[in-house]
């Protein structure tokens, strides 16, 4: 894949893992335009998170539902701060673990644990579908949630199977990153100066459109996206695009919903057009 993106300008919307994504794209020769959108921070009040950790240690869960890798890492960070990280990891190891896609599984492996069940679809709906087939009667189910999402359907699915949910949301999204970065990204696409926009989570799309509406830029955003190839990492992103009347031009082959397969797909599709930057 050496320098297969040389000469192409790629827009990425920075959230969780985009520093690594930018590095991978740059290694392939791409000119990367990074657009900070928001940051991820610990919750302002740590007391509920700390109580959840202590509760998990005192009475380990029967099942553990992990929705994001970021969430597990934030919980581990809090456990280390409390000085109970080893006890916390030992307690988690006693639960049957369900993960939404590969990222929470990767976070588990970082602490020497393995997920017992991973959703076929890395979405909340995929997790609900999976849990609807699992007997949870009388079981205590720890559920790691993420912000800016209505999780009532997920928690309801667990309750419907007889489980008692013990939820925790260990981080928040901070949208203080200057909206001017998003406005600039929209202007660059509208001017035809971006070859492709690479989308790796659905929150990026929502934030992009939210700012565009507030700034009166939605028409300019849609015009810019017509001139820019849209690369989607997986089904959750593609579903969110569809909700806005859009579709992906670039998508990884098979079910490899990771950054490297997305980069490979981008290289294949972009090779069909002339780069805007001289090689």
Give residue 73's pLDDT: 96
- Candidates 169, 95, 157; CA nearest to 125 is 157
Condensed to tens digits (0 to 9), the pLDDT of residues 244-270 reads 999 999 998 766 667 788 888 999 898
Give residue 179's pLDDT: 87
pLDDT band at residue 274 under the 50/70/90 scheme: confident
Give residue 33's pLDDT: 92
Condensed to tens digits (0 to 9), the pLDDT of residues 66-88 reads 999 999 999 999 999 999 999 99
Give residue 279's pLDDT: 45
- For residue 174, pLDDT beyond 50: yes
Q: Which residue has the tokens 């990771």?
A: 258
Looking at every residue in the chain, the average pLDDT score rounds to 90
pLDDT band at residue 2 under the 50/70/90 scheme: very low
- 174 neighbors 39 (Cβ within 8 angstroms): yes
Rounded Cα–Cα distance for residues 71 and 103 (Å) = 10
- For residue 223, pLDDT beyond 90: yes
Q: Determine the average pLDDT of the residues in 228-238.
A: 93
What percent of the chain lies above the pLDDT cut of 70? 93
β partners of residue 39: 174
pLDDT band at residue 22 under the 50/70/90 scheme: confident
Domain boundaries, the chain: 9-38+175-270, 42-173
Predicted model pTM: 0.66
Condensed to tens digits (0 to 9), the pLDDT of residues 41-50 reads 899 999 999 9
Condensed to tens digits (0 to 9), the pLDDT of residues 96-121 reads 999 998 889 999 999 999 999 998 87
- Name the CATH topology of 42-173: Rossmann fold (3.40.50)
- For residue 21, the surrounding DSSP H or E stretch is helix 18-27
- Note the CATH architecture for domain 9-38+175-270: 3-Layer(aba) Sandwich (3.40)
Rounded Cα–Cα distance for residues 252 and 262 (Å) = 5
- For residue 159, pLDDT beyond 90: yes
Structure tokens at 87: 């006890």
Rounded Cα–Cα distance for residues 188 and 236 (Å) = 26
Q: Determine the average pLDDT of the residues in 185-202.
A: 94
| Alpha-carbon torsion, ordered 56, 48, 17, 245, to 10 deg | 110
Give residue 16's pLDDT: 54
pLDDT band at residue 15 under the 50/70/90 scheme: low
Q: 183 or 277: whose pLDDT is higher? A: 183
N-to-C CA span, the chain:
16
Instruction: Establish whether domains 9-38+175-270 and 42-173 are of one fold.
Output: yes
């Amino acid at each position: 894949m050496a320098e297969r993106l040389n000469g192409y300008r790629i827009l990425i919307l920075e959230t969780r893992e985009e520093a690594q994504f930018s590095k991978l794209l740059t290694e392939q020769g791409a000119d990367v335009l990074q657009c900070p959108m928001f940051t991820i921070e610990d919750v302002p009040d740590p007391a509920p998170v700390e109580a959840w950790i202590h509760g998990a240690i005192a009475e380990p869960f029967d099942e553990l539902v992990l929705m994001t890798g970021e969430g597990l890492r934030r919980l581990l960070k809090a456990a280390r701060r409390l000085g109970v990280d080893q006890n916390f990891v030992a307690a988690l190891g006693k639960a049957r673990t369900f993960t939404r896609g590969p990222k929470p599984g990767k976070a588990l492996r970082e602490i020497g644990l393995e997920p017992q069940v991973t959703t076929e679809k890395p979405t909340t709906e995929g997790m609900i579908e999976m849990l609807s087939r699992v007997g949870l009667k009388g079981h205590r189910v720890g559920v790691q949630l993420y912000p800016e999402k209505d999780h009532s359907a997920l928690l309801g699915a667990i309750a419907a199977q007889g489980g008692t949910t013990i939820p925790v949301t260990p981080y928040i999204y901070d949208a203080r990153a200057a909206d001017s970065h998003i406005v600039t990204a929209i202007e660059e696409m509208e001017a035809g100066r971006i070859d492709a926009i690479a989308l790796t989570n659905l929150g990026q799309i929502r934030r992009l459109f939210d700012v565009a509406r507030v700034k009166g830029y939605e028409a300019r955003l849609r015009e810019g996206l017509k001139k820019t190839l849209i690369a989607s990492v997986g089904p959750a992103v593609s579903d969110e695009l569809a909700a806005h009347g859009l579709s992906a031009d670039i998508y990884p082959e098979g079910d490899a919903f990771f950054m490297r397969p997305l980069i490979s797909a981008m290289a294949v599709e972009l090779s069909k057009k002339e780069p805007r930057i001289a090689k």
